[in-house]
A and B are shown apart, each in its own frame.
Chain A
Amino acid sequence: MDVEKKDRAVCLMFALMLAGGLLLCIFMPKDKYSDSERRMLTPMPGLSAGNVWSGRFMSGFEDYAADAFPFRDAFRRIKAVTAFKLFSRMDNNGIYEADGFLSSVEYPMNEADLERAAERFRHICDKYLTEKNKVYLSVIPDKNCFMAAASGHLAMDYDAFEGRMKELADFAEYIPISDLLDRDDYYRTDTHWRQEKIGDVAGRLAQAMGTHLSQNYEVHRLDHDFYGVYHGQSALMLPAEELKYLTDESIRNCQVYDWQNKREIPVYDFEKGEGRDPYEMFLSGSLSLLTMENPCAQTDKELVIFRDSFGSCIGPLLLEGYLQITLVDIRYIHPDYLGKFIDFDNCDVLFLYSTLVLNHSDTLK
């Protein structure tokens, strides 16, 4: 190819890319929601003189143009692959992959957040509990605990984390569980642990709280593929996973009441299991206050679990040992309102939180 032809080819290529891009941007149908990022995409801003004069239209349009760009996920994939393969970046937007497991960098340990979390827990104890209540604390290590250091990524000192929480929450008896976990107990493409792998954790918690679980669970598999939150966020092509769930007599007969929406809900919400975020099938995802009644209980023990999303998964496994378990998520309900719904007399209380929430405890009310 001579220089003149090359110059024409360069001009043609550029013109085609810009014109093609423009036409696709204008005419291609726009998504309102990004399944991969699990968020609403920025809509086209309203055009008005006021919006233009203030600059709001322009800034809104910049966000819209990037969000509504055709084949957005394919471009995000190109970016991720370029970052990892061409530039050998250790992470892309804070997400990294090691041996087929995805995780997000969680570093450093935020001392102030740990203090805040402990202060919120203490407030609950001071407000509602007496010496008759037994109070427990357990910290769920996030996946990085088992993979970050080994793959050369930034890793918090999880022993120090646990130690600090124990120290700060000296009003609670600490139940260690990290020795029972490893990387395979978590989904490859998701933040969370796998229910079928945490029977031993449930057993440890129950034993420490003075009850016993027979753990005769039946394992079931959700019918369709599971792609965790990091799958879309990383924009990498990783294989689908199986989402499994456990049942036993207590779980099958359990009645769950959702105080937030004032309705009965199932332990495993299969509608949610077919939705955008199948992990929400465990106790219907992000709900502020739930009560699980166990009609098959051989005991009158009651437990209140202050928990995050990890608790939705392990909560049902503890049912056998209790007549009633109440699950509270103080990211969605202020603790000061709990007295209206929960009778704390003679209840055991467990603060069960993942390091991810404790390390960013500004979300706790």
Chain B
Amino acid sequence: MLFSSITFLYYFLPLTLVLYFLSPGRLKSAVLLLASLVFYGWGEPRYVLLMVLSILSGYVFGLLVERYRKKRAGRALCVISVGISLSFLLCFKYLDFFLENLNRAAGLEISLLGLALPIGISFYTFQIISYTVDVYRGERAQRNLIHLAAYVVMFPQLIAGPIVRYSDIAGQLTVREHSFSGAASGIRRFVIGLGKKILIANQLGELCAGFRASEEKSVLFYWLYAVAFSLHIYFDFSGYSDMAIGLGRVFGFRFLENFHYPYISASITEFWRRWHISLGSWFRDYVYIPLGGNRKGQKRQLLNILIVWMLTGFWHGAAWNFILWGLYFAFFLTIEKLWLLKLLKGSRFWPHVYTLFLVMISFVIFNGESMGQLLSDLAGLVGTGGIPLVSAEAVYYLRSFGIVLLTAVAGATPVFRSFMLKISKDPIGGKVLNLAEPFALAGVMLVITAYLVDGSFNPFLYFRF
């Protein structure tokens, strides 16, 4: 189930909220677990069993790791638990990729499994790994299976993160505070996230789909696509994170931030401190540091960076473009670490241009459906292949999506937030804002609902009657 659906907004969420807030405190996690399983099973009922198996494995190994963590067996149990979690991920997400490449390289004809990717498997696998490793590192194992299961399967962050670390919410699984102010801030965050997804990201997605379908490409169109996709992925992903954080807040959880205006970064290093923060910090704490981090000399550090970023790319999808995307960042992060970062600090404007350009190119790589398409997209940006500079379609799309693009550009910076903060500090402005906020949120919800309802617009093609 998606947050951005009528089913979620007007069936699942109200029923879940009613059940959750009517149930006594000790049953709240169980209600959340039950709702999360329905939420998960709605998309792919067969894979609920896989998830239950993953949870049970995490639960049993957590207890065992805690029991033996001071002995050698503890490390072995931790490795086995991580291995089991990764084997599920490998089997469902990566096996076909490996087989396909093996077939290609060795001229074999091994049949692919063709398994559907279980929704959220990349996120919940990492959460289970974080739990086992945190227990190995000294965190207390969760004895209540319902609490652990609720942590893994919690619907607000199940599908698109953020990757919630067990150590960050261990206490909240048992005791959490519910208040009007917490719920209101959660609702605000949720509605903003939903607006980012429906009103901005989806429209930019239309532009990108229009570009892909067009047979009238031009240099302008390629650039328009690159900018639109960079904004689309930011608003889509950060919108989901906002919704997750907001819903978590409504249910009394405090999830860590996942995005912090990444497009105002002045270096790639800074960009990755602001973009998908939970993934970056997960790889740092569970891969980079265990590999030795920067403690074993510069050569080893650079190798560690390469490994971590290749894995980061691969985590995003089982395809070469994702690996290339990770390596691309490894390359620039290495250069910045070696010498460029110092140089970038000397200027205010150019580092932003440098960062935005490289990030935009990275997303063109990210979105390439094949290596051929990826190369053709990159070539299109520089106008190779005799394509015209401008085409009628590019101009049309630019005009049609101009306001959406401008809104997205402004929304990707702290401009709106600073403006609202400034008004709220003014005594009269603050009162007006307080008065207007519930109505503004209701208005945004209405418009979002309108977009969701219209999403099934599917007219009969009358002219062919």
Confirm or deny: A204 has a beta carbon within 8 angstroms of a beta carbon on chain B. Answer: no
CB-CB < 8 A to B439: which residues of A?
A: 13
CB closest chain-A residue, reference B116: A55
Confirm or deny: A22 has a beta carbon within 8 angstroms of a beta carbon on chain B. Answer: yes
CB-CB < 8 A to B46: which residues of A?
A: 53
17 A–B pairs (Cβ distance < 8 Å), ordered by A: A1-B431, A10-B441, A13-B442, A14-B191, A19-B14, A22-B14, A53-B45, A55-B43, A55-B44, A65-B11, A76-B454, A77-B450, A108-B393, A308-B463, A309-B463, A360-B464, A363-B464
- Residues of chain B from 159 to 214 with CB closer than 8 A to chain A in the complex: 180-181, 183-185, 187-188, 191, 203
User: CA–CA, A108 to B393, complex, Å?
Assistant: 9
- Residues of chain B from 414 to 450 with CB closer than 8 A to chain A in the complex: 431, 434-435, 437-439, 441-442, 445-447, 449-450
Q: Across the interface, do A87 and B45 meet the contact criterion of CB distance under 8 Å?
A: no
Q: Which residue of A4, A153, A192 is within 8 Å of B181 (Cβ)?
A: A4
Secondary structure at chain B's binding surface: helix, strand, loop or mixed?
helix
Interface 1/0s, chain A 34-78, versus B by CB < 8 A?
Answer: 000111001000000000110100100111011101001001111
Confirm or deny: B402 has a beta carbon within 8 angstroms of a beta carbon on chain A. Answer: yes
Q: Across the interface, do B396 and A55 meet the contact criterion of CB distance under 8 Å?
A: no
User: CA–CA, A357 to B183, complex, Å?
Assistant: 54
Given contacts A17-B442, A55-B45, A67-B456, are A79 and B450 in contact (CB under 8 A)? Answer: yes
Q: Across the interface, do B5 and A65 meet the contact criterion of CB distance under 8 Å?
A: yes
Instruction: List 6 extra interface pairs beyond A65-B6, A79-B450, CB under 8 A.
Output: A63-B456, A65-B5, A66-B452, A76-B453, A192-B463, A308-B464
- Interface bin, chain B: 35 or more
Q: Across the interface, do B463 and A354 meet the contact criterion of CB distance under 8 Å?
A: yes
- Interface bin, chain A: 35 or more
Given contacts A82-B447, A108-B215, are A154 and B460 in contact (CB under 8 A)? Answer: no
Q: Across the interface, do B400 and A7 meet the contact criterion of CB distance under 8 Å?
A: no
Q: Across the interface, do A39 and B459 meet the contact criterion of CB distance under 8 Å?
A: yes
Task: Identify the interface centre among A65, A152, A354: most chain B CB within 10 Å of its CB.
Answer: A65
CB-CB < 8 A to B188: which residues of A?
A: 10
Confirm or deny: A213 has a beta carbon within 8 angstroms of a beta carbon on chain B. Answer: no
Q: Across the interface, do A66 and B184 meet the contact criterion of CB distance under 8 Å?
A: no
Q: State the B residues within 8 Å of A (CB).
A: 1, 5-7, 9-11, 13-15, 17-18, 42-46, 180-181, 183-185, 187-188, 191, 203, 215-216, 392-393, 396, 399-404, 407, 431, 434-435, 437-439, 441-442, 445-447, 449-460, 462-465
CB-CB < 8 A to A280: which residues of B?
A: 465
CB closest chain-B residue, reference A96: B400
Q: Across the interface, do A11 and B187 meet the contact criterion of CB distance under 8 Å?
A: yes
CB-CB < 8 A to B457: which residues of A?
A: 37, 76, 93, 233
Q: Which residue of B15, B215, B453, B463 is within 8 Å of A356 (Cβ)?
A: B463
Confirm or deny: A229 has a beta carbon within 8 angstroms of a beta carbon on chain B. Answer: yes
Given contacts A10-B188, A78-B447, A154-B396, are A37 and B458 in contact (CB under 8 A)? Answer: yes
User: CA–CA, A25 to B452, complex, Å?
Assistant: 14
Interface 1/0s, chain A 334-364, versus B by CB < 8 A?
Answer: 0000000000000000000010110010010
Q: Across the interface, do A87 and B396 meet the contact criterion of CB distance under 8 Å?
A: no
CB-CB < 8 A to B392: which residues of A?
A: 154
Confirm or deny: A115 has a beta carbon within 8 angstroms of a beta carbon on chain B. Answer: no
Q: Which residue of B14, B449, B460, B465 is within 8 Å of A75 (Cβ)?
A: B449
